[in-house]
Amino acid sequence: MSRTIVIEEPGGPEMLKVVEREVGDPGPGEIRIRHHAVGLNFIDVYQRTGLYPLPLPHALGMEAAGIVEAVGEGVTHLKEGDRAAYAAMPPGAYAEARVMPAAQVCPLPDSISYEDAAAMMLQGMTVEYLFHRVTPIAKGDSVLFHAAAGGVGLIACQWARSEGIELIGTAGTDAKCALAREHGAAHCINYRETDFVPEVKKITKDAGVDVVMDGVGKDTFDASLDCLKPLGMMISFGNASGPVEPVSLLTLAAKGSLKLTRTTLFTFLADHDRCQAMARHLFDKMESGAVKVNIGQRWPLEEIADAHRALEARETTGSTVITL
C-alpha cells in the first residue's frame, strides 16, 4: 500500500486528499519505485485547478527520487535496487511508491541525494532545455528571466553564470532579488515596485536582451516583448500569474521581427535518449559545483495543501521538497 495524494474534482488546495492505494507490479516498459523524496512544482497547481485538465480522479505530482523495487519486461536502463529520479508524465509522484513508465526515469548518481534530485529534476531539466535546446544562446548573450528567485529561477541564475550568460532577473521582493543575485543573476529588478522595461533598457544601454524566459505569463508577457532586441527570442514557458492572452502576429513584426515560442518540458523529454542526456547534463552541472539546489522549504506529504497555498501565495523561494 502507498499513501498517495489524489484529486477527485478540480479546485483549491482543499481538493488534495490522502488515500491508501495498492501499488501492484510493473508491466512491460514499467518500473515500481519507492520514493524517498518528492518535488513540488507549479504545474501541480495548474493540474489541481484544471488549467491543465486531467481525467479524474487522478493522483498528482510530477517529480520524485527513490529506489527501483521492480522492473517490467523490456526495461534495460534500470534494475532492482538502483537509485533513480524523474520528472515525468503521468502525474502521481505525490506517493510513497508507484508503478510508472520507465522511459523517463533516470539512474541517479550516488553523489546526488534523493532530496536534491527530487528538488531539481523537473526545474533543472527545464533550465537545461531553456539554455541549450530552444534557441542558440552564446557566452556574452543577455537573458531576461522572470521570477528569478523561484525554483526554476535560482537554477537558471546559476546555470547562466556558469555559461557566461548575463542574466537579468526579476522578483517580487528586495530579499528575493538579493537571493537571485547571490545565485548568479547579474542584475535583479523588483518588478512589484519598479517597471522592468526601462530598467532593462538602462542595463542593456538601450539595446534590449537577446532572449526572454517568462514563466510568469499574463502579468509580464506584453512588457517582456518590449525588452527584446530586434530578432530577439521570447520563450514563454509558464502561467504563474495566469495564462497569456492571444497574441497578434503583427505585434511581433512591429516590435522588431521577434521570435516567439511556448515550450513545455515534456516535448523535450518525450524522446528517451534526449531525456537521459538532459538528466546527465544536469547531474554534471551539479557534480561540478556549478549548480547547487536551493531547498527553500519542506512539507510532509500530509500537509501538501499548505505547500500548494504557499507556492501560489508567492511565499516560497527556490525549490520545495515533500517529505515522506
- Candidate list 15, 93, 225, 265; residue touching ligand NDP; CB under 6 A: 265
Tell me: does residue 239 bind ligand NDP (CB under 6 A): yes
Q: Is the Cα dihedral 68, 159, 52, 172 positive or negative?
A: positive
Residue 43 contacts ligand NDP per CB under 6 A = yes
Alpha carbons 81 and 69: distance in angstroms, whole number: 6
Does 167 bind ligand NDP (CB under 6 A)? Our answer is no
C-alpha cell at 93: 509522484
Segment contacting ligand NDP (CB under 6 A): 9-17, 39-47, 65-73, 223-231? 39-47
Residues facing residue 39 across a β-bridge: 321
Identify residues 279-318 at the interface with ligand NDP (CB under 6 A): 311-312, 314, 316
- When asked if residue 238 is in the footprint of ligand NDP (CB under 6 A), the reply is yes
| 243 near ligand NDP (CB under 6 A) | no
Cβ atoms of residues 70 and 34 within 8 Å: no
Residue that is written with C-alpha cell 542558440 in the block: 136
118 binds ligand NDP (CB under 6 A): no
Distant-in-sequence contacts of 49-57, Cβ < 8 A, 24+ apart: 49/10, 49/11, 49/12, 50/10, 50/11, 51/239, 51/243, 53/10, 54/7, 54/91, 56/7, 56/8, 56/9, 56/10, 57/6, 57/7, 57/8
Of residues 263, 297, 30, the one with CA closest to residue 125: 263
Residue 171 is a binding residue for ligand NDP (CB under 6 A): yes
By CB under 6 A, tell whether 215 contacts ligand NDP: yes
Shortest-Cβ-distance residue relative to ligand NDP: 150
Size of the site for ligand NDP (CB under 6 A): 30
Strand partners, 84: 66, 107
List 2, 41, 104, 204, residue binding ligand NDP (CB under 6 A): 41
Kindly identify the residues of this chain, within the stretch 55-114, that bind ligand NDP according to CB under 6 A. Answer: none
Binding site for ligand NDP (CB under 6 A): 41-43, 122-123, 126, 147, 149-153, 171-172, 176, 215-216, 219, 237-241, 263-265, 311-312, 314, 316
